[in-house]
């Protein structure tokens, strides 16, 4: 499937610019096994890059102008590299403007280029197409002009580009998009940015994503608000327990003891974060020891917390998780990513995948009148050059 996308992108480039691209870059989306909304809370997360990608084709054009074409949107924009970079009403262009902005702020020198890209990462599904866009674009410019930017700095600059667009995200998505490895999940310590790869061996279970096909519009404002609520809660915790540097140093009973000093919302957010950090550690151990049922149970607990304590779920996602709870073949399920729509991630007993997909689709259609999509997950590598 990716070969078709790659050839489409290269052919389009050739038609537009009359020559083969100098560099072709593949940049993946991500899944997250567990550890949601804790990357910006200095926790641990357990994501992986997937085999759904954005393909970029690049060449230098010996000018000060860059021309960027989005095949899937049938749209394009030009950017004068000498000008100030400003936000534009075309949202998709802002992720790329944000990258140019970052390169300029950090003093990198480069010239004009032509770029064509196309994607098979579903947008708005919680698979992080925006991180793939920022990081792949940055990776390509780095390769084209030999800027010598380290992978971790590509991820950090991608994250800053996303902040510039308006989402105060953590580092998980960009990190996975750049540093993913085939058949590995990455345990990232989001406080120190140290990381370890663990085998993505789910034994008798397949990872399946169910795409609710909805994206509720409050995502950006609610996401940023959650981050503020956590900051407010952490300040109260630190005031009372000066030895606490961040949520991971804090116990459930310490948070509980401060319930009266916090608003109900702030308390629930903090309580969730402390428990979720603990769940990731346990989940990673369970994965290493082949205890996939334990991992599945932790995923259900995460969903419960995201729904009731962190309040980032929605009716459609709660429905998808609640329904599979009564299926013997599904041992874990939860909403994945920022929430308010997008996908659930599920551990489904091998051999039962088609049956579950069919039944869930019918029930979902009956309840919401919306088509349920599903994706079989294959864990792929981080951003890379395509060898032509």
Active site residues: 173
- Encoding tokens for residue 161? 């580009």
Strand-pair category, 65-70 with 47-60: unpaired
Give the nearest distance from C-beta 364 to ligand GAF in angstroms. Answer: 23
What is the rounded distance in angstroms from the CA atom of residue 160 to the CA atom of residue 83?
20
Which one of residues 27, 102, 114, 128 is an interface residue with ligand GAF (CB under 6 A)? 128
What is the rounded distance in angstroms from the CA atom of residue 329 to the CA atom of residue 331?
6
* Nearest residue (CB) to ligand GAF, 24 versus 49: 49
Decide: is 172 part of the binding site for ligand GAF (CB under 6 A).
yes
Please give the full DSSP string across 84-127, using - where no structure is assigned: PP---SSHHHHHHHHHHHHHHHTT-----EEEEEEE-SPTTSSS
* Nearest residue (CB) to ligand GAF, 116 versus 133: 133
User: Which span (67-75, 167-175, 253-261, 350-358) binds ligand GAF, by CB under 6 A?
Assistant: 167-175
Q: Which of the residues 28 through 87 are near ligand GAF (CB under 6 A)?
A: 36-37, 39-40
What is the rounded distance in angstroms from the CA atom of residue 263 to the CA atom of residue 249?
21
Which one of residues 173, 229, 311, 316 is an interface residue with ligand GAF (CB under 6 A)? 173
* Nearest residue (CB) to ligand GAF, 118 versus 177: 177
Give the nearest distance from C-beta 292 to ligand GAF in angstroms. Answer: 22
Q: Are 47 and 32 in contact (CB under 8 A)?
A: yes
**Number of residues written out for the chain:** 388
* Nearest residue (CB) to ligand GAF, 279 versus 357: 279
Give the nearest distance from C-beta 39 to ligand GAF in angstroms. Answer: 5
Question: Binding marks (x or -) toward ligand GAF, 309..338, rule CB under 6 A?
Answer: ----------------------------xx
Decide: is 382 part of the binding site for ligand GAF (CB under 6 A).
no
Decide: is 341 part of the binding site for ligand GAF (CB under 6 A).
no
- Encoding tokens for residue 147? 């800027």
Query: Is the alpha carbon torsion for 133, 159, 226, 86 positive or negative?
Result: negative
Measured distance between the N- and C-terminal CA atoms of the chain, rounded to whole angstroms: 17
Binding site for ligand GAF (CB under 6 A): 36-37, 39-40, 128, 169-170, 172-173, 337-338
């Amino acid at each position: 499937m990716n070969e078709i996308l790659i050839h489409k992108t290269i052919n389009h480039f050739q038609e537009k610019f009359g020559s083969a691209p100098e560099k072709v870059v593949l940049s993946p989306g991500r899944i997250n096994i567990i550890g949601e909304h804790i990357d910006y809370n200095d926790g641990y997360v357990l994501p992986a890059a997937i085999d759904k990608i954005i393909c970029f084709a690049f060449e230098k054009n010996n000018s000060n102008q860059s021309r960027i074409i989005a095949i899937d949107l049938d749209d394009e924009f030009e950017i004068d590299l000498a000008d100030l970079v400003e936000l534009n009403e075309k949202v998709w262009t802002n992720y790329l403007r944000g990258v140019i902005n970052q390169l300029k702020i950090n003093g990198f020198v480069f010239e004009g280029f032509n770029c064509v890209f196309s994607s098979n990462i579903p947008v708005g599904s919680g698979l992080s197409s925006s991180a793939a866009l920022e990081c792949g674009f940055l990776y390509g410019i780095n390769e084209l002009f030999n800027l010598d930017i380290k992978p971790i700095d590509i991820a950090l600059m991608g994250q800053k580009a996303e902040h510039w667009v308006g989402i105060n995200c953590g580092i998980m998505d960009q990190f996975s998009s750049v540093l993913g490895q085939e058949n590995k999940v990455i345990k990232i310590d989001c406080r120190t940015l140290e990381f370890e790869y663990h085998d993505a061996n789910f034994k008798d279970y397949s990872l399946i994503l169910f795409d609710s096909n909805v994206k509720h519009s409050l995502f950006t404002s609610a996401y940023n608000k959650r981050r503020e609520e956590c900051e407010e809660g952490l300040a109260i915790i630190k005031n009372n327990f000066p030895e606490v540097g961040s949520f991971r140093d804090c116990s459930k009973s310490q948070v509980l003891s401060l319930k009266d000093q916090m608003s109900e919302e702030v308390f629930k957010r903090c309580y969730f974060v402390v428990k979720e950090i603990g769940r990731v550690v346990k989940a990673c151990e369970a994965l290493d020891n082949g205890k996939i049922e334990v991992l599945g149970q932790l995923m259900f607990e995460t969903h419960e917390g995201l729904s009731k304590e962190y309040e980032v779920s929605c009716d459609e996602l709660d429905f998808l998780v609640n329904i599979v709870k009564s299926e013997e073949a599904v041992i874990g399920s939860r909403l994945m990513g920022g929430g308010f729509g997008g996908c659930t991630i599920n551990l489904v007993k091998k051999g039962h995948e088609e049956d579950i997909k069919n039944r869930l689709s019918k029930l979902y259609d009956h309840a919401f009148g919306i088509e349920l999509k599903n994706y079989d997950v294959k864990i792929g590598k981080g951003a890379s050059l395509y060898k032509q």
